[in-house]
């Protein structure tokens, strides 16, 4: 009986840790996507600005 309680406890703890890990991975993916979108937008804006400046110099 004692071994069964240990097995149930270990399996329960593993499931809790797995749930926390998956939650953390989900948030990291969301943060990564937001950062990727920000980089693309900043690159686009910077490219538009440099295009305007080079056209004005000609």
Q: Any idea which residue has 């979108």 for tokens?
A: 37
Q: For residues 14 and 2, give the distance between their C-alpha atoms in angstroms, rounded to a whole number.
A: 18
The residue ranges of every structural domain in the chain are 1-58
pLDDT at 55: 58
CA within 13 Å, CB half, 56: 6
pLDDT(12) > 70: yes
pLDDT at 48: 85
pLDDT at 56: 56
Q: For residues 5 and 9, give the distance between their C-alpha atoms in angstroms, rounded to a whole number.
A: 6
pLDDT tens for 21-55 read: 999 999 899 999 999 999 999 989 888 888 766 65
With 0.75 as the threshold, say if the pTM is over it: no
Q: For residues 41 and 43, give the distance between their C-alpha atoms in angstroms, rounded to a whole number.
A: 5
Q: For residues 28 and 19, give the distance between their C-alpha atoms in angstroms, rounded to a whole number.
A: 14
Radius of gyration of the chain (CA): 25
pLDDT at 32: 93
């Amino acid at each position: 009986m004692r071994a069964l309680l240990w097995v149930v406890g270990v399996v329960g703890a593993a499931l809790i840790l797995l749930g926390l890990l998956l939650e953390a991975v989900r948030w990291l993916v969301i943060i990564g996507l937001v950062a990727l979108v920000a980089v693309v937008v900043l690159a686009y804006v910077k490219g538009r600005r440099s295009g305007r400046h080079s056209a004005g110099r000609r």
